[in-house]
Structure 1
Amino acid sequence: MTAASDTPEQESWFHRNQQSVAPWLFLAPGILFFLFYVIFPVFQSFNLSLYAWDGLGEAEYVGLRNYEDLYWEYVDRDAFYTSLKNNVIWLALYLLAIPAGLFIALFLNQTVFGIRLYKSLFFFPFVISQVVVGLVFTWFYDPTFGLLTAALGWFGLEGVNILGDERFVTYGIILAGLWPQTAYCMILYLTGLNAVDPEQIEAGRLDNAKGWRMLWHIVLPQLKPATFIAFVVTIIGALRSFDLISIMTEGGPFGSSRVLAYYMFEVALSEYGFRMGYGAAIAVVLFMIMMCFIAYFLWSMYREEKGR
C-alpha cells in the first residue's frame, strides 16, 4: 500500500497558494527591473536636483537654489524660457499625429486594391531610426540641393533655409517628428479597429448613421483605449524630444530650437560646465509636466470606467 497523500493541513504554504503566487514569480524580474531602472532613477534625480555637483567632485547641498536659477532664467527669457516655449509648441503640434494616424488607419482598414502596399508605405517610418529620420529631413530642407528647394524652384520661388532660420527651425523639426509618430498612432488605431464590434456597426447602419455620425457615435467610443495610449505616448514623445534636435540642429541656430530635454543635456554634460544638479532640476520640471498630463488622462479614464 502506498502512503496516503498529504492532507491540506500537511501541504506547504507554496502548494496551497501556488496559483496566486505563480503570476508574481513571473512578474518579479520585470518589476525589479522597472524599480531599479525607472523608479529609483526618478527619486535619484529629485535628490540630485538639490545639490551642486560637477559629476566628479564632492556634491554640495544647495537646497532649492537650482530651481531658483531656473525661475530667474525664465523671468530673464534666457535658454530655459526658449526651451520651455519650444516644448509647448512641440506639445501642441505633435498632437496632430493622433487625428492624422486615425484617418490613415480608417483608410487602410478598407479592402481596396493594393492595400498591402499602402500599409507597408505608411508603416515604413515607424521601423526606421529617429537618426535616419533626422538625416533624411536635413537633406530635404537643405537650401542648396534639398528636395524642398527644388520643389519651390518649380514654382519660381526661392529656397528657404528652414533649419537656419530662427522663425521656422522648430516647426521644421516637429514636421520631421510627426512623420514616424503618425505611423505609430496609425498602428494603434489599426489594432483598435480590428476590435470594433461589427454588430454595433450594423445597428448604426440600421439607424441611418453614416460618415461622421458613424465615426463619432459608434467607432470612436470603441477606440478610447487606443486613443488613450496614443495621447500618452505622443505627449511623452513631444516632451522628451531630443534625438531629432541633436541630429538636425544641435539646438541652433543660436539656441532657438532647444527643448528642455536637449537643454538638460547641454547643462549637465556639455558646454555649460557639467552642472549635474541644475540638469536634474530641469529633468524634474519635465517629469512633473509629463505627470500632469498623464495623471489627467488616467483620472478621466477612471471616472469613465467608474461611471459605467
Structure 2
Amino acid sequence: MPHSATRQDVNAQPREPDASHSPRSPHSRTKRRGPSPTARRQRKAALLFLAPACVMVAVYVIWPILSSIRLSFYNWDGMTEQTFVGLDNFIELFQAPTFYTALKNNVIWLALFLLAPPMGLAVALYLNQAVAGIRIVKSLFFAPFVLSGVVVGLIFSWFYDPTFGLLAVILGHGVPVLGDARYATFGIVFAALWPQTAYCMILYLTGLTALNSEQLEAARMEGAKGWTMLWHVVLPQLRPVTFMAIVVTVIGALRSFDLISVMTGGGPFESSTVLAYYMYDQAIKYYRIGYSASIAVVLFAIMLVYIVYHLRRMLRNEI
C-alpha cells in the first residue's frame, strides 16, 4: 500500500506544459507574423505603378530645377566653358531696371489674373442650370479653353488694332492699346483672362457635379437659398477646386510668355515684359544662360512662396 501511494504521488506531480500547446505572448505573435502575400503583392504593384511617375518627376522637374540653381552661379553662353561667378548674376539682376519693370508687370498680372477664378465660378453656376439650349451656351464658353495662346494673341491683336479693330469701331476712334506703354500690359492681361476664365469654369463645373446632394437638401429644408446657400454650403465644398484654380492661375500669371511674345514682344520699350519673357530674352537673344537661370531661380522662389502660403492656409481651414 505505501508503495502504491508513492506511485500515485509521483503520477500526481504536475507536468511541464508542452511547447506545442504553450500560449504565445503578443510580442512573439507580432514578431512572427509578417505581411500577407496579398499585401506584399499590392505593395509591389503600387510601387511599380508609382515608379514611372517618380522617374518622370525626377528627370523633368527636380533635375531641371537643380540644374537652373547651379547654372545661376555661372557665366555661360551655351557653347564655351562655364565660368563660376558666384552671386554676380543675382547682383546684376537686382541692379537692372528691366528686372523691376518685369517684376511690377508680374504683380499686375497676379492682381488682375486672380479675377479668373471668381469669374469662372460665376459662369459655372450659370451653366450648371438645366434649361433649354444650355449645351450650346456651354460649347461657346468652352471654346477659349481649346485655343492656343498664339491664336488668342492674334485675335486680340486684331481686336486692339487702331485702324480696323473692333475696339476702334466700338469707341469710334482708334486707341493704340498695344503701342502705348501705359496700356500694353493691361491689354495683354485682358486677353489672357478670356481662356483662363474658361479653364476655371471647367474646374468649377466639375466640382459642382460632385457636390453632396444630402447637404444641399438639408440646407434647403432649413430655408437656405441664394447667397446663403452659396456661401455656407456650396463654397465650402468647392474649397479644393478653388485652391486648384488659384494655384493654376498664379502659375499662369507668373509664367506668362506666349501672349506677350505674339502681341508686343515685351514692348514698347520693354514696358510690357515680365520675368518669364525677360528670362527668354536674355537666354535666346543674348546667349546669357547663367543670367537667365538667375531670373528663373527668382521666379521659382516667388511661385514657391505664393503656393506654399495658399496651401498652408487651405490646410489650416481644413483642420
TM over 0.5: yes
Shift of 1:186: 0.2
Report the secondary structure of 2:267's partner residue. coil
| 1:139-159: CA deviation from partner (whole Å, max 9, x where unpaired) | 111111111111112xxxx21
Residue from 253, 264, 279 that aligns with 1:238: 253
Q: Which runs of 5+ in 2 are unaligned?
A: 1-31
Residue from 65, 84, 88 that aligns with 2:88: 65
Residue from 147, 151, 160 that aligns with 2:170: 151
| AA partner of residue 220 (structure 2) | R
TM-score, normalised relative to structure 1: 0.90
Shift of 1:200: 1.4
User: 1:45-64 counterparts in 2 under 5 A?
Assistant: 45-64=68-87
Shift of 1:15: 7.4
User: What is aligned with 2:275?
Assistant: 260
| 1:109-135: CA deviation from partner (whole Å, max 9, x where unpaired) | 001111000100001100111110001
User: What is aligned with 2:20?
Assistant: none
Shift of 1:16: 6.7
C-alpha distance 255-277 of structure 1, shift in aligned 2 (>3 A) = same
Identity %: 61
Matching of residue 97 in structure 1 with residue 116 in structure 2: yes
Shift of 1:303: 2.2
Q: Which runs of 5+ in 1 are unaligned?
A: 1-8
Shift of 1:293: 1.0
Shift of 1:284: 0.4
Shift of 1:304: 3.0
| AA partner of residue 69 (structure 2) | F
Report the secondary structure of 1:31's partner residue. helix
Shift of 1:21: 1.2
Shift of 1:64: 0.7
| AA partner of residue 274 (structure 1) | Y
Provide the rounded CA distance (Å) in 1 between the counterparts of 2:118 and 2:44: 42
Residue from 298, 301, 310 that aligns with 1:285: 298
User: What is aligned with 2:21?
Assistant: none
Shift of 1:72: 1.4
Provide the rounded CA distance (Å) in 2 between the counterparts of 1:208 and 1:19: 48
User: What is aligned with 1:299?
Assistant: 312
Larger radius of gyration: 2
Provide the rounded CA distance (Å) in 2 between the counterparts of 1:303 and 1:161: 47
Shift of 1:224: 0.5
User: What is aligned with 2:159?
Assistant: 140
C-alpha distance 52-197 of structure 1, shift in aligned 2 (>3 A) = same
| AA partner of residue 48 (structure 1) | L
Report the secondary structure of 1:143's partner residue. coil
Matching of residue 127 in structure 1 with residue 150 in structure 2: no
Provide the rounded CA distance (Å) in 1 between the counterparts of 2:61 and 2:160: 37
User: What is aligned with 1:226?
Assistant: 241
| 1:199-248: CA deviation from partner (whole Å, max 9, x where unpaired) | 21222222222211111100000000110100000000000000000011
User: What is aligned with 2:107?
Assistant: 88
Residue from 213, 225, 236 that aligns with 1:210: 225
Shift of 1:302: 2.5
C-alpha distance 14-72 of structure 1, shift in aligned 2 (>3 A) = farther
| 1:58-89: CA deviation from partner (whole Å, max 9, x where unpaired) | 1110111111111212xxxx111110000000
Structural RMSD (CA): 1.7
Shift of 1:14: 8.2
| 1:130-184: CA deviation from partner (whole Å, max 9, x where unpaired) | 110001000111111111111112xxxx210110011110000001100000000
User: What is aligned with 2:289?
Assistant: 276
User: 1:136-215 counterparts in 2 under 5 A?
Assistant: 136-153=155-172, 158-215=173-230
Provide the rounded CA distance (Å) in 2 between the counterparts of 1:112 and 1:210: 19
Provide the rounded CA distance (Å) in 2 between the counterparts of 1:135 and 1:23: 46
Report the secondary structure of 2:211's partner residue. coil
User: What is aligned with 2:22?
Assistant: none
Provide the rounded CA distance (Å) in 2 between the counterparts of 1:243 and 1:123: 20
